[in-house]
Amino acid sequence: MRGLVGSIGLLFPLLLPRAAPAQTLSFATGNPAGIYYPLGGGLASIWSRTIEGVNIKAEVTAGSVTNLVQVAKLESDVGFAQGDSVADAVAGTGRFPEPLPLAVLGRMYPNVVHVVSVAGSGIESVQDLRGRKVSVGPPGSGNAVTAWNILRAVGISERDFTVRQLNYTETSNGLKDGTIDAGFIAGGIGISAVVELAIARDIVLVPLTDEEMAAITRLVSAYSAFEVPPGIYRGVDEPVQTPTLWNLLVVHRTMDDELAYRLIEAVFEFRSQLEDITRVASFIAPETAADVGKLPLHPGARRYYDEILGNKRASAK
């Protein structure tokens, strides 16, 4: 009998239901010197800890365009992307020859376009970029999409300067060692690539005029004027006008509604932890996140916003 009991005891664990293996998801972010990767890493950690049955890994990518293609192909499950690139991808214009099957979880935070040079370069306006060596960002990046949109709006073409396609780190290093004269760095305010450059060199944040901003917003309505306040970057002691646009959290339109709901819910429940990673997380709010204009909002995210914003409105009465 003892032997029989022992045998049953050995077999019994095999009869217990096993927990389903965690679903491993991929989060397409960006370059480590930008905001996408550290913020995405924080989000991936929160999601993996708080959503049962989900394990999410943040991956380094070239940025917005690459992220949108990977999500559309189901090579990545979630991605960050700039609003101008998302609009092009959904419409099938610009870098995207056909519409991509994407949906938005929400607007996260605004990207600030830093047109950066160094003191002594003689570059004080975007028109001074003519004849210079300028980094527009790497191929496949939203940075490059934004840079070309701005240049096109102000009447500068690729024939007018020497094009360099460098990432944030390479752009910062190129300005430090003088191999380039200026660069476009589109990222959250306080982006490390510009902060670190300003420590090493005296930088110039090139301002855009009211007329140039009007031309930019006529070309792409996703942009708006923004003033970089003094004190964010060493040596920048006056406000600098530049374009800004929002970064979005994007998924495939076929993502399960409940998963989409849980992903965006966790963003707001643990936002304070994201603020410990980067100051741009302070911009994340349900009211702005839900406002995606004509872009397709995922039904799971819409349900979350309807609930939380409806509750806020009811409590305000």
- Residue 9 falls inside a structural domain: no
Q: Which residues pair with 262 in a beta bridge?
A: none
Of 227, 244, 261, the residue that ends a domain is: 244
Nearest to 312 by CA among 294, 291, 285, 292: 285
* DSSP code at position 89: H
Task: Tell me the CB-side half-sphere exposure of residue 239, using CA atoms within 13 A.
Answer: 7
**Do both 161 and 41 map to the same domain?**
no
Assess contact for 173 and 201: CB atoms under 8 A: no
In the chain, what is the straight-line distance between the N-terminal and C-terminal CA atoms, in Å?
A: 71
In angstroms, the CA 303 to CA 196 distance is 41
Q: Which two tokens stand for residue 162?
A: 């020497």
Quote the pLDDT of residue 173: 97
Q: Which domain holds residue 132?
A: 111-244
Of 229, 244, 259, the residue that ends a domain is: 244
Quote the pLDDT of residue 18: 53
At 192, which CATH number? 3.40.190.10
Provide the number of structural domains found in the chain. 2
Assess contact for 248 and 108: CB atoms under 8 A: yes
- Provide the CA 291 distance to its chain's centre, in angstroms: 16
Cβ neighbors of 19 (< 8 A, separation 6 or more) are: none
The backbone region for 50, taken as left when phi is positive above 0, alpha when psi lies in -120 to 50, beta otherwise, is alpha
Task: Tell me the CB-side half-sphere exposure of residue 67, using CA atoms within 13 A.
Answer: 34
Of 224, 244, 264, the residue that ends a domain is: 244
**Do both 135 and 152 map to the same domain?**
yes
Note the pTM of the prediction, 2 decimals: 0.83
Q: Which two tokens stand for residue 195?
A: 């902060």
Quote the pLDDT of residue 12: 45
pLDDT in tens, the chain (317 residues): 445 444 444 444 445 555 556 789 999 999 998 899 999 999 999 999 999 999 999 999 999 999 999 999 999 999 999 999 999 999 999 999 999 999 999 999 999 999 999 999 999 999 999 999 999 999 989 999 999 999 999 999 999 999 999 999 999 999 999 999 999 999 999 999 999 999 999 999 999 999 999 999 999 888 999 999 999 999 999 999 999 999 999 999 999 999 999 999 999 999 999 999 998 999 999 999 999 999 999 999 999 999 999 876 545 44
- Residue 133 falls inside a structural domain: yes
**Do both 236 and 260 map to the same domain?**
no
